[in-house]
Amino acid sequence: MRITLRVIGIGPGNPRQITLEAIDAMAGVDAFLVLDKGADKQSLAAARREILDRYAPDGHRVIEIVDPPRDRHPADYDAEVRRWHAARATLFAEALTATVPDGGVAAFLVWGDPALYDSTLRIVEDITTHTDLDIALEVIPGVTSASALTAAHQILANRIGESIHITTGRRLADTPAGADTNQIVMLDGDLAFRHTADPADHIWWGAYVGTDDEILVAGTVGEVGDTIAEVRAAARQRLGWIMDIYLLRKAVD
């Protein structure tokens, strides 16, 4: 069985930050696949629903797939990860075979851009490796939350000629000296900059960027570090979830 599988970047939450290419790619899709990741669900569901209502063809199907269970502390970590990837690939292949006709089109809607901290393309690779489904893959880029952040703050991500490092909160402390001039930090539940940055470094922080709930704070880490922590905790409490990102820039000596 051969299907076309479109991985479509939908931007970071504002339905108007979707590209014409993404809208075109939604036409003719038989089924949209959604990986239900529990915590992510709340945040993604409303935006995804709005995008599907606006742009998906009438009569399209949405298939929610729950991640198979995974042993987080196995004796053989690599073997368990391989087993889990194969199990997940099999679930997706079964759902695709059951809902998409031979020669049909399925799509994943991916938050932001599919190339940045997203597992969808890895899942597609697993499906191709572990099952005999014949997939013609198409990838549509999306506006990443990194661009939404810099646009919201009306800033460049770098001073003249400087490099930019994109990382996660968990890896922030591992950034090599020299690569830390401008850092865009995603997936940081712990505001890791408070343990790594100097008070004179500058931070541009944003939560729910591009959406009606957008919150922006900017200043030196010394000035606004505590404010960001307070604002973040209050917003999370109020809305029940949070999505935030920041640009951290080293002060020049």
Ligand X SMILES: C[S@@+](CC[C@H](N)C(=O)[O-])C[C@H]1O[C@@H](n2cnc3c(N)ncnc32)[C@H](O)[C@@H]1O
**Contact set with ligand X (CB under 6 A):** 12-13, 111-113, 116-118, 144-145, 148, 186-187, 206-210, 243-245
Rg, Å, the chain Cα set: 20
CB of 208 to ligand X, least distance (A): 5
| 74/241 with CB nearer ligand X | 241
CA–CA gap between residue 206 and residue 228 (Å, rounded): 9
| 95/166 with CB nearer ligand X | 166
| 201/244 with CB nearer ligand X | 244
CB of 172 to ligand X, least distance (A): 12
| 100/142 with CB nearer ligand X | 142
CB of 148 to ligand X, least distance (A): 6
CB of 163 to ligand X, least distance (A): 19
CA–CA gap between residue 193 and residue 172 (Å, rounded): 7
| 83/165 with CB nearer ligand X | 165
How many angstroms separate the Cα of 186 from the Cα of each of 53, 67, 130, 138, 167? 28, 22, 30, 25, 6
Of 68, 126, 125, 127, nearest in space to 97 by CA: 127
Show the tokens assigned to 127.
């499906």
CA–CA gap between residue 123 and residue 170 (Å, rounded): 22
CB of 17 to ligand X, least distance (A): 9
Q: What residues contact residue 251 under an 8 Å CB cut-off, 6+ apart?
A: 198, 200, 201, 202, 220
CB of 116 to ligand X, least distance (A): 4
Of 115, 241, 45, 220, nearest in space to 228 by CA: 220
CB of 90 to ligand X, least distance (A): 23
Q: Which residue is nearest to ligand X (CB)?
A: 112
| 30/244 with CB nearer ligand X | 244
| 100/146 with CB nearer ligand X | 146
